Structure 1
Amino acid sequence: MSGQEVEGAARGRRVGLTRSRVLDAALEIIDRDGLAALSMRRLGAALGVEAMTIYHYVPNKDALLDGVLEEVFRQSYSRRLRSGSWQEQLRSYAHPLVDQLREHPGIVPLMVQRPALTSQTLGMMEQGLEVLHAAGFPLPRALQMIHALIGLAIGHVVAGGADDSEDRLGHLAQEDLSTFPLVGRAVQDAGGSHLPEPFETALDAMIRGFEADLSTSA
């Protein structure tokens, strides 16, 4: 290790730098200014250290991006139920994941671009496969289910991430729907009724499909 690297590592220790703090700071930059604004130089400035110091906590920019994704998955995963039926556990993972992506929308393009296959995310996947395989799903199908669930969450946020069907109906009701009679009737018939949010509707349909697969293969 060169003298400059030793000095950088010592400076990092003096300011209480940790990998977790580095990832949190990177996520803050993405939240505030977008993914394109994240650089090692800017991250170092935000943490009060030279950019080279960051490399003692993440070896390169790719590892930094993987780590940021890992942190988002970790935060969502930490909120999930650890018991219950496989359906309940899928729901308890899906909703916090959507919440995390709504809180950090700048991370969504990165999540689409990168698989983020780190030891932590693979560990989460391993636990998910354990639950689904124990429920009777073949492992390849269980893996596909996990990917489908994550894709549903990402797609929902990319599409706007609205969490209130009544808001959507309200916007439609303000339009002139005279030439769209079925749309107008749907809005009128739904008036005053409490509808599930779009993500919940899609998640229900997905889980029912998984249940049908399981009953067919049994």
Structure 2
Amino acid sequence: MVEVEWESNGCRRTGGGVRNQGGPGNPANATLSEAEIVEAALRVVREDGVAKLSMRRLSRELGVSPMAPYYYVADKRELLDLVAGAALTGVRTPPPESGTWQQRLRQLVDQIDEKLRKHPGLGDVLIEQMLGKQLDLIASVMQILFDAGFTDRNVLAAYATIHTYLFGRSRVNPRDRSAPADVTLPDSVARAIKYMPDLRGRYSYDFGMDVLVAGLEAQLVRQASADVR
């Protein structure tokens, strides 16, 4: 990689990251890694939303020169690509011989959910990028649905259902959702609401996926019946 020095901007490009040459509020000799940039971008998304993520906002979060992030990316679109790609590293599509379509779907979606848990804010980034650079992820899910026997139209409907569950769930945050002390809850609500913390836990995720897969199985049966008629 060719080194390019930006002495006037306070940053120097190096093979290992961005080395800050000092400046107001910026300690000298601080090197940024790709992982640090990705995590800083996700923090901004968590706190302010993906719409507020900018190169300048990212540099403030990192405490570096506004030019430092440009070592890795040219603009916000490339930044989102970097964040999504780095955060999804390690997600593997189960091959057809690895199990039934239900098992393969669970294995793939489980991996994505694990990444969403590990990187809060990633869901918003992926929604932003899903029809751009993350088409391989969509294709993997859809191929499993095609292998299951869904029609073209139903593959799209099934994928949309999975997408809505997975990424909609990533936005569910039960913190600070307790009812005001002066509010009397209906009995049915009071009995259930004590389990609000489950909404971010494994139990709720497994419950939802079991319901989703069972529903897809039922839709396959309905599709087959419609084909016979």
Same fold (TM over 0.5): yes
| Residue 86 of structure 1, aligned match among 96, 101, 113 | 101
Give the structure 1 partner of residue 111 of structure 2. Answer: 96
Taking structure 2 as the reference length, what is the TM-score of the superposition?
0.61
What is the alpha-carbon distance in structure 2 between the residues aligned to residue 157 and residue 150 of structure 1? Answer: 11
Shift of 1:47: 9.7
Give the structure 2 partner of residue 204 of structure 1. Answer: 210
Shift of 1:109: 3.5
Q: CA RMSD in A?
A: 4.0
Give CA deviations for 1:184-212 in whole Å, capped at 9, x if unaligned. 6779xxxxxxxx82222221111111111
| Residue 25 of structure 1, aligned match among 36, 59, 68 | 36
* TM alignment of 1:1-218, pairs within 5 A: 6-7=4-5, 11-16=12-17, 21-22=33-34, 24-33=35-44, 34-35=47-48, 38-41=53-56, 43=58, 46=62, 51=67, 54-55=69-70, 57-72=72-87, 74-75=88-89, 77-78=91-92, 81-82=94-95, 83-112=98-127, 114-119=128-133, 121-160=134-173, 180-182=186-188, 197-218=203-224
| Count of residue pairs brought into register by the alignment | 187
Normalized per residue, which structure has more strand?
Answer: 2
Any idea what SS the aligned residue of 1:198 has? helix
Answer whether contact 1:69 1:116 (CA < 8 A) is retained: no
Taking structure 1 as the reference length, what is the TM-score of the superposition?
0.63
Q: Which has the higher contact order (CA 8 A, sep 6+)?
A: 1
Shift of 1:38: 4.8
Any idea what SS the aligned residue of 2:121 has? helix
Unaligned runs of 5+ in 1: 163-170, 188-195
Normalized per residue, which structure has more helix?
Answer: 1
